[in-house]
Amino acid sequence: MNAVLARAYEVIFDLKPVPRMSDWMMALMILNKFDVPKLGEELAKQCIFQIVNHIEYPNNGITQTVVGQAEGLATELWDGLPDEPHMNQIAHLENVYSPRN
């Protein structure tokens, strides 16, 4: 289970995710209730990075749906992104923004 998404899930839903919940399902649920003020900007950004760059999806249709939704929400967090950013732009942001750099 992805630790960043699990933490965001707890913040948004005020409960722990079910242990057997897949990361992509947790991501979709988080995105459907995405709330930057509630999550805090740091956790919200980490969620976008995880959803776009790191979790696995069962098929291309789900990938396009979930990643596309995350890419659209990324415009709330970073100035200068186009209205429809691409995952390679999010990957670049992670490389630039990541606290470990």
Cβ atoms 75, 93 nearer than 8 A: no
DSSP string, 18-45: PTT--HHHHHHHHHHT--HHHH-HHHHH
| Structural domains in the chain (count) | 1
Count of Cβ atoms closer than 10 Å to residue 98 Cβ: 11
Q: What is the pLDDT of residue 101?
A: 43
Query: Could you tell me the two tokens for 29?
Result: 């649920």
Q: What is the tens place of the pLDDT at every residue in 23-77?
A: 999 999 999 999 999 999 999 999 999 999 999 999 999 999 999 999 999 999 9
Letter for the amino acid at 26?
M
In this predicted structure, the answer to whether residue 94 has a pLDDT above a threshold of 50 is yes
Kindly report the pTM of this predicted structure: 0.90
| Domain, as residue range, for 18 | 3-97
Q: What is the pLDDT of residue 86?
A: 82
Q: What is the pLDDT of residue 85?
A: 87
In this predicted structure, the answer to whether residue 99 has a pLDDT above a threshold of 90 is no
Compare 84 and 75 and report the one with higher pLDDT.
Answer: 75
Q: What is the pLDDT of residue 79?
A: 87
Q: What is the pLDDT of residue 100?
A: 56
